[in-house]
Amino acid sequence: MDFVIRRAAAEEYDTLGEITAEAYLRDGLLDFGEADAYLHDLRAVAKRAAAAEVLVAAADGVVLGGVTFVPSGGPMADIARPGEAEIRMLAVAREARGRGTGEALVRACVDRARSVEGCARVVLSTQATMRTAHRIYARLGFTRTPDRDWNPLPELDDITLLTYELTL
Per-residue pLDDT of 119-145, as tens digits, reads 999 999 999 989 999 999 999 999 999
CA distance 86 to 151: 17
Model's pTM, two decimal places? 0.93
Predicted pLDDT at 68 = 98
For 47-72, the pLDDT digits (tens) are: 999 999 999 999 999 999 999 999 98
Q: Which helix (H) or strand (E) holds 105?
A: helix 101-114
Instruction: For residue 159, give every residue at least 6 positions away whose Cβ sits within 8 Å of its Cβ, in sequence order, or none.
Output: 31, 151, 152, 153
Q: Which residue has the higher pLDDT, 139 or 29?
A: 139
- Taking CA 104 as the corner, what is the angle to CA 119 and CA 163, rounded to the nearest 5 degrees? 55
Over 80: is that where the pLDDT of 31 sits?
no
> Of 90-94, 130-134, 144-148, which gets the smallest average pLDDT?
130-134
Q: Map out the domains of the chain with their CATH numbers.
A: 4-167 (3.40.630.30)
The answer to whether the beta carbons of residues 11 and 112 sit under 8 Å apart is no
Predicted pLDDT at 32 = 72
CA distance 98 to 62: 17
Q: Which residue has the higher pLDDT, 166 or 157?
A: 166
